[in-house]
Structure 1
Amino acid sequence: MAHGSSGLSYSCACFYTDNIFIEQYQMHVSFTDEEKFTKKYHKITLCYFIELLFPQVKKEVERRMKLAEESMQRKSEISLRYKPLHPELYVLQESFLSADFLEAVHFCQSPHASLDGLLNLLDSIPDKRIYRLPVFVPQFCKDFVEELEHFERSSLAKGRPNTMNNYGVLLNELGFDDSLITPLREKYLRPLVSVLYPDWGGSCLDSHKAFVVQYSLDKDLDLSCHYDNSEVTLNVSLGKEFTDGNLYFSEMREVKLLLNYLCSSFFFFF
């Protein structure tokens, strides 16, 4: 479920049929009806195994159908009862953003913007169109983590990002969408990704899904292999001190790309 500039929520039809995660078997499936499901998966699973999957898949589809209404209820309750620890974080300030990030964005807004020129300002993984640069300053990350921990300690209901993560926060429910995430997407990320991903609609991104997930020894340890239902994904590491946390991309899963990277992570889905 993505959120646009008007405050409305959008769900692609494929959200209710594709990329359905079955936690017990650590696998993703697609589902429209039992007949098509059986035809698609009978060659790679046993018949009795498929029968066991049906109830779990249907339960997940039903859960997704109720997400929008349940999220609106939680957001309304949070807005009435939650007192932010750092209220200044809820309105984007340019001081929140790193100098390297601002330099890259300003270059993309200039008349001489080009992909070759932009790549001089970024770290990149050859041939994979994966790029890295600091987005936020350390003080913002510190305060933001404190805000999230403050919210976690409250008794308010919390919507989790997905069925693969048990610990995390949907940022729109906490009130970050209108004045933080949306201007970040429109004013800063859109110019950047319009140069990096012009063939993926980088210049006209109109919605997003923003959430935080958390990993630790006593919580979630990892995230199963998956793909994002988005044109562009931005991952921001907010973590404190930690070790491990390797991040892998698609067919490069056997190659460690980013070491000591993920702990508490800030994910933007566009």
Structure 2
Amino acid sequence: MSVDGSLERRKQPPPAPSTGNGNGVVPPNLGHYSANRLRLNPNKDHKPDSYEDLQLEFSPFLFSSLEQYLPPSMLRVSRDIKLQYMKHILLRYSPEGERLRVQRHREYRQKIIANYKPLHKELFTMHAENFFVPSFLKAIKDDKEGGFRSIMFQPSPGVYTFEMLQPNFCEMLLSEVESFERWVHHTKYRIMRPNTMNKYGAVLDDFGLETMLNKLMLDFIRPISEVFFPEVGGATLDSHHGFVVEYGTDRDVELGFHVDDSEVTLNVCLGKQFSGGELFFRGVRCDKHVNTETQSEEMLDYSHVPGRAVLHRGRHRHGARATTSGRRVNLLMWCRSAVFRELRKYQKDCSSWCGECQREKKERQRQAVAATKMELLKRDGKPTA
């Protein structure tokens, strides 16, 4: 099996030298700090600075979260130096053309937020008791692995499903998206679609839901991901891309085989009445093995249920079958970790999470054991056939 041309690959530039910013220039005020690496684990006792008062190329929440992973020597320096150090890291993965695109998108978003009047204002701040089902809230409140596992069903390795959203929240979010789309049509604003694969749907962050979704990621999804996806940065999720996608005979019908630009993906069906549209999963792969064959134990077809969430690694290959009738709308959140992406360039072995890397490692171990056994038999003068 091969991943078709619709696969969205993450294009990262080569790592910059440890003392430069990718252009051969050492960022000002960094001095010897520029050679330091991030911590593997966050300093949970450190209270990070706020960056919301600054005009930045990246989300201010990203900087506050990333600050907890700074090397100890940097926690006592000024906010400006910390900011420069973190920008130095983030810009390694964002060439100039991408930064210009981000800046234009930020201006586009600010213009929408300044003019769009929300239909349901209560959606734009986190009201957990009104959003989530009691079982999900209790598991989050208890904050224990056993509580998370008690609400989870794992139909296939690495794919977790659980009841999450209340029907009233699903209905409100659906009507808010419809209201935004009507406003876009009336005002003739150009709507940016969620990604290159979906021609319908909307980016929720673009019309004011960024803060609410960021809290959803940090307070609800990250604790779960820390338990189930630690090897891909589940404990260090610090930014997101939140959007809805729409499927139906007059919308996108299906979604090709692909991987997400995320470390962890949350996918929740909002409704409405529909048939078809099943997700199909085909195993987790690193960049090197993304086109390798699927093993039988990795195959899963999953049918959506409104309010029920699916949580999986972004590198878990998947797609959506055709929606044959009605209309299906899903909330998706691609959760990302700058720490994981920074550390990946030092990572030579992906066997902790890539299915094919695991198989190759086991095969090497099998061959090593067989070779050792053969050598011992030769020493004892026994037949080796």
TM over 0.5: yes
Does structure 1 retain, via aligned residues, the 8 Å contact 2:269–2:304? no
Shift in alpha-carbon separation, 1:3–1:209, aligned structure 2, 3 A: farther
Q: 1:149 to 1:69 in 2, by over 3 A?
A: same
Kept after mapping to 1: 8 A contact 2:265/2:334: yes
Does the residue aligned with 1:199 lie in a helix, a strand or coil? helix
Identity among equivalent pairs (%): 30
CA–CA distance in structure 2, aligned partners of residues 98 and 236 of structure 1: 13
Q: Which of the residues 139, 149, 155 maps onto 1:125?
A: 155
Q: Indicate yes or no: 2:175 matched with 1:146.
A: yes
Distance 1:219 1:247 in 2: 17
Partner of 1:5: 61
The letter of the residue matching 1:132 is T
- SS of the aligned residue for 2:278 comes to coil
Structure 2 equivalent of residue 165 of structure 1? 198
Residues 116-125 or 98-107, more deviating: 116-125
In structure 2, what is the equivalent of residue 217 of structure 1?
Answer: 249
Quick one: distance in 1 between partners of 2:173 and 2:126?
12
1:265/1:13 Cα in 2 relative to 1: closer, same or farther (>3 Å)?
Answer: farther
String of CA shifts for 1:69-127, please: whole Å, max 9, x gaps: 332122122112111111111001012111121122234x2xxx33x66333211123x
Which residue of the other structure, out of 140, 145, 152, is the alignment partner of 1:105?
A: 140
SS of corresponding position for 1:249 = strand
The corresponding residue for 2:333 is: 268
Kept in 2, the 8 Å contact 1:97–1:135? The answer is yes
Question: 1:192 is matched with which residue?
Answer: 224
Q: Deviations over 1:41-68 (max 9, x none)?
A: xxxxxxxxxxxxxxxxxxxxx7x66531
Root-mean-square deviation over aligned CA pairs: 2.9
Q: CA deviation at 1:12?
A: 8.0
Query: Would the alpha carbon gap of residues 14 and 218 (structure 1) be closer, same or farther in structure 2, given more than 3 Å must change?
Result: farther
Q: CA deviation at 1:241?
A: 0.9
In the alignment, what sits opposite 2:209?
176
The match for 1:257 is 301
Matches within 5 A, 1:10-29: none
Gaps of 5+ in 1: 17-61
1:69 matched to 2:103: yes
CA separation of 1:120 and 1:145: change in aligned 2, threshold 3 A: same
Structure 1 residues 165 and 253, CA gap change in structure 2 (3 angstroms):
farther
Q: Against the structure 1 CA distance between its residues 220 and 65, is the aligned structure 2 distance closer, same or farther, given a 3 Å change threshold? A: farther
Distance 1:144 1:125 in 2: 28
Equivalent in the alignment of 1:46 = none
Q: Distance in 2 between matches of 1:7 and 1:97?
A: 28
Give the 3 Å change call, closer, same or farther, for CA 269–2 of structure 1 in structure 2.
farther
Matched residue, 1:96: 131
CA distance in 2 between partners of 1:199 and 1:256 (Å): 22
Q: Is contact 1:245–1:259 with CA below 8 Å preserved after alignment?
A: yes
**Alpha carbons 1:243, 1:260 under 8 Å: kept:** no
Aligned to 1:51: none
